[in-house]
Amino acid sequence: MDFKVLKRLIKFIKPYRGHFYFLVMLTIVTAALGPLRPYIIQITIDDYIAVGDYQGLVNMVLLLLVLLFLHAIVQYSHTYLSGWIGQNIIKDIRIQLYRHLLKLKLKFFDRTPIGRLVTRNVSDVETLAEVFSQGLAAMTGDILTILFILGFMFSQNWRLTLVSLATLPLLIISTYVFKEKIKLTFNRVRNAVSNLNSFVQEHITGMSIVQIFGNEDQEYQKFKEINKEHKRANIKSVLYYAIYFPVAEIIGASSIGLLIWFGAGEIVKGAIGEVGILISFIMYINMFFRPLRMIADRFNTLQLGIVSTDRIIRLLDSKDYLPNEGTFKTDSLQGEVSFDHVWFAYNDEEYVLKDISFKAAPGETLALVGATGAGKSSIINLLSRFYDINKGVIYIDGRPIQEYELSNLRQHIGVVLQDVFLFSDSIASNITLGNPDIPFEKIIEAAEMVGARKFIERLPGGLNYNVMERGATLSVGQRQLISFVRAMVYDPEIIVLDEATSSVDTETEELIQFAIDKLMKGRTSIVIAHRLSTVQKADQILVLDHGEIKEKGNHEELLELNGYYTQLHQMQYKGALS
């Protein structure tokens, strides 16, 4: 067991240490009350039933009932409190984990499967609840119960105790083998669950691609194999349980058989007194072997929790967030954007941007054109600090963007992407993103300005219409218009438009172009487009190729150069004529 991980896990208990100490007390009381029952029954048989003392028998039965009632109350309190602590701790861990995920940069999500992160935040955290309800507290109670039982047994008759424990080495050996086998199986189960989650999440998200290419049968076969591995791992654990518990029962029964054989002989010889002690020892043996059998299972629950905790801690300890976050905040920007000899690579030295330098004055429109993979989207990703540059400096209003407080910086940059992501929620919530400072009237005003109000009002419920996951119930153009409204209500000084009209029909494009004109008015705008017709009015156009700026100027100036831009223009013009 990794005690360093266990130590980290115990730290999560600190906010509930008072409740935890009370749980420890309940654990001790529960462990002590159990072994009292055989002792009371022994006294009842030897001191009252054997001598025919009916009133004494009644009194002892009443005492036993009170003890049982008290034990039930303590056990209820123990079970409820351990579950309460566990649920509160996993709530805290899940919140901490999700808050940490929100701070990680996009590079982390680029290389980490979403299904694996879902497993960490849901399944692995849920496992920790069992650690506190069925692991730590329960295993501690089992150990204390065993110690109390041994204390009672040795105090009554040490010879009977040793005979009763003669089969204990066999149980310890079988328990250890079971523990080791089931630990490996549980790790295999957790990996299978993670793989299953990743596969299902990715393929449900990409179901349209699967169906478009008629790949259902192949993906179905892949899923069957992953699901079979999950089944095999779980059946293996069932097999070990099916072997271990009958073996443990046989060992326990053998111990009782030895006890009866030896104890009966001692009674006949007069070496021990009444039969009550023999009956109490039979009860002690049953009580002793039950928690001992369960300890192996509890230990593996704890071990499984340690594995899950280790995964969670490694995620929490990941430092894959933007370093050296600045502290400068501002209520408004002029909107000047400048790249000074910027180099950037997603992976090591494979630069996707090479020595990029340009300057956009406040209120100016800067267009980025070039083939796919030229580096256009990388530029806007760097401007919003989704990634940090390798070399060079990016300035906004003459200040390096690393000096800005990150959330403050992004408040002043509005981004409208080609692939608009909408959450399964109302249109209003998708526009405000849950920001309570944006009034309803401002949403209406922004929707009116970009020409989206009419189609929104035609939907059932208007702004309260639920767009479903990823905006599946809306057209591409409608999703795009909502993204314009979203950008408008935040009123940024810098606006970024990434392929904003590349996936819509001509009529919708005219509506979106109207929205673009409204959105860009009075703001510094950086526009990415394959259609050169949408950027001809730009104050400055950068022509990118393989991460380098090949040409720079306005539409007329670039045509006069008769270079890259001219070739792109002629290709699109010929395509339009054909």
Which of 70-74, 182-186, 265-269, 374-378 shows the lowest mean pLDDT across its residues? 265-269
Q: Is 551 helix (H, G, I), strand (E, B) or coil?
A: strand
When pLDDT is cut at 50, 70 and 90, the band that residue 577 belongs to is very low
pLDDT score, position 573: 61
Which residue's structure tokens are 């099916």? 242
Q: What CA–CA distance (Å, rounded) separates 101 from 114?
A: 11
Q: What CA–CA distance (Å, rounded) separates 501 from 498?
A: 9
Mean per-residue pLDDT, 206-214? 74
pLDDT score, position 473: 75
485 in Cβ contact with 457 (< 8 Å): no
pLDDT score, position 506: 61
HSE of 516 in the Cβ direction (CA atoms, 13 Å)?
A: 26
Residue scoring higher pLDDT (86 or 268)? 86
DSSP state of 44: I
| Enclosing H/E stretch for 343 | strand 337-345
The amino acid at 496: V
Alpha-carbon distances, residue 578 vs 68, 529, 568 (angstroms): 91, 21, 15
When pLDDT is cut at 50, 70 and 90, the band that residue 504 belongs to is low
Residue scoring higher pLDDT (25 or 475)? 25
CA nearest to 541, candidates 522, 519, 518, 568: 568
Mean per-residue pLDDT, 183-193? 79
pLDDT score, position 394: 93
Those residues with Cβ within 8 angstroms of residue 261's Cβ, 6 or more apart along the chain or in another chain: none
pLDDT tens per residue across span 88-144: 888 888 888 888 888 787 777 777 777 778 778 887 887 777 777 666 777 788 888
Sheet holding 391-396, edge to edge: 351-360, 337-345, 391-396, 399-400
149 in Cβ contact with 287 (< 8 Å): yes
pLDDT tens per residue across span 541-556: 999 888 899 989 888 8
When pLDDT is cut at 50, 70 and 90, the band that residue 396 belongs to is very high
* Residue 365 φ/ψ region, left for φ over 0, alpha for ψ in the -120 to 50 degree band, beta for the rest: beta
First and final C-alpha spacing in the chain: 71
45 in Cβ contact with 276 (< 8 Å): yes
335 in Cβ contact with 523 (< 8 Å): yes
pLDDT score, position 503: 54
Which of 59-63, 315-319, 574-578 shows the lowest mean pLDDT across its residues? 574-578
* Residue 389 φ/ψ region, left for φ over 0, alpha for ψ in the -120 to 50 degree band, beta for the rest: beta
Residue scoring higher pLDDT (374 or 499)? 374
Q: Where are the beta strands (DSSP E) in 425-547?
A: 494-498, 524-528, 540-545
pLDDT at 387 over 80: yes
Which of 37-51, 333-347, 375-389, 467-481 shows the lowest mean pLDDT across its residues? 467-481
279 in Cβ contact with 259 (< 8 Å): no
pLDDT score, position 341: 93
CA 241 to chain centre: 30
Which residue's structure tokens are 């991460």? 547
Q: DSSP of 133-157, one letter per residue? A: IIIIHHHHHHHHHHHHHHHHHHHH-
Q: Where are the beta strands (DSSP E) in 464-522?
A: 494-498
CA nearest to 254, candidates 169, 374, 148: 169
Q: What CA–CA distance (Å, rounded) separates 84 from 409?
A: 41
Mean per-residue pLDDT, 368-386? 86
The amino acid at 198: S
pLDDT tens per residue across span 219-231: 888 888 888 888 8
Thinking of the domain 324-412+526-578, which architecture would CATH place it in? Answer: 3-Layer(aba) Sandwich (3.40)
When pLDDT is cut at 50, 70 and 90, the band that residue 578 belongs to is very low
Sequence ranges of the domains in the chain: 3-316, 324-412+526-578
Q: What global pTM score does this model have? A: 0.69
Q: What CA–CA distance (Å, rounded) separates 213 from 236?
A: 37
HSE of 514 in the Cβ direction (CA atoms, 13 Å)?
A: 13
451 in Cβ contact with 514 (< 8 Å): yes
Length of the chain: 578
Q: DSSP of 182-209, one letter per residue? A: HHHHHHHHHHHHHHHHHHHHHHHHTHHH
| Enclosing H/E stretch for 445 | helix 440-449
Residue scoring higher pLDDT (16 or 11)? 16
Q: Is 544 helix (H, G, I), strand (E, B) or coil?
A: strand
Kindly indicate whether the domain formed by 3-316 is annotated with CATH number 1.20.1560.10.
yes
